[in-house]
Structure 1
Amino acid sequence: MKASIVAAMAACMVCGGLLVSTVSAQSQSPVVVLDVSKVFKEHIRFKQDLQLMTKDAEAFQAYIQQQEIRVKALLEEQQGSRPGDPVYNRTDEEMTRIRSEVQVQSQLKKKELMMREAKVYFQYYNELQAEVGKFCDAQKISLVIRWNSEPIDQDDRVSVQQGVNNSIVYQRNLDITPLMIEKVNMGVPQPGPDNRNAAIPARPSR
Structure 2
Amino acid sequence: MVAPRDSTRDARQLPCLFGLYAGGPSRQNTALKVTPRGRPSPPGPVLDSTRSRMTSRLQQGVLNVRTSLIVATLVAVAYVAVAFTHTTAQQPAASQAASQHGIAVIDVTYILEHYSRLKQAMEVYKRDAQKAEAELKQERDGIVKKSEVLKTRKPGSDEFKRLEEEITKAESDWKLRVAAQRRDFAEREAKNYLRAYQELADVTKRYAQRNGIQLVLRFNGAPIDPNNREMVQMEVFKMVMYYDKSIDITDPVLAELNRAAAIAAPPGVRPRR
Q: Same fold (TM over 0.5)?
A: yes
Aligned twin of 1:172: 245
How far did 1:167 drift? Answer: 2.7
Aligned-partner residue type, residue 90 of structure 1:
R
Deviations 1:154-175 (A, max 9, x none): 6766555544443321323001
Aligned to 2:128: 56
Aligned pairs for 1:8-157 within 5 A: 17-19=90-92, 21-25=93-97, 28-152=100-224
**Alignment deviations for residues 29-61 of structure 1 (CA, whole Å, 9 cap, x no partner):** 211001111100111110111122212221122
Q: Deviations over 1:17-38 (max 9, x none)?
A: 231x543246542110011111
What's the secondary structure of 1:185's corresponding residue? helix
For 1:14 and 1:154, how far apart are their aligned partners in 2? 43
Counterpart in the other structure of 1:204: none
Q: Which has the larger radius of gyration?
A: 2
Report if aligned partners of 2:105, 2:218 keep a CA contact under 8 Å in 1. Answer: yes
**Distance change (3 Å), C-alpha of 1:105 and 1:29:** same
| Alpha-carbon distance, 1:111 to partner | 1.1
Q: Is the 8 A contact 1:33 1:174 kept in 2?
A: yes
Taking a change above 3 Å as real, the CA distance of residues 121 and 101 of structure 1, as seen in their structure-2 partners, is same
Aligned 8 A contact 1:154 1:160 in 2 = yes
Counterpart residue number, 1:5 = none
In structure 2, the CA distance between the partners of 1:155 and 1:79, relative to structure 1 (3 Å rule), is closer
Q: Which has the higher contact order (CA 8 A, sep 6+)?
A: 1
Once residues 107 and 193 of structure 2 are traced to their aligned partners in structure 1, the CA distance between those partners, rounded to angstroms, is 15
Q: Contact between 2:117 and 2:271, CA under 8 Å: does it hold in 1?
A: no
Unpaired stretches in structure 1, ≥5 consecutive residues:
1-9, 197-206
CA-based RMSD: 2.7
Letter in 2 for 1:65: K
Aligned length: 180
Any idea what SS the aligned residue of 1:124 has?
A: helix
> What are the Cα deviations for residues 54-104 of structure 1, in whole angstroms up to 9, with x where unaligned?
122211221222122212221222223234312212211211121011111
The alignment partner of 1:167 has SS state of coil
Change (3 A) 1:58 1:25: closer
Q: List gaps (5 residues or longer) in structure 2.
A: 1-82, 263-269
The share of aligned pairs that are identical, in percent, is: 27
User: Under a length normalisation based on structure 2, what TM-score does the superposition of the two structures give?
Assistant: 0.58
Task: Tell me by how many angstroms 1:123 deviates.
Answer: 1.0
TM-score, length-scaled by structure 1: 0.75
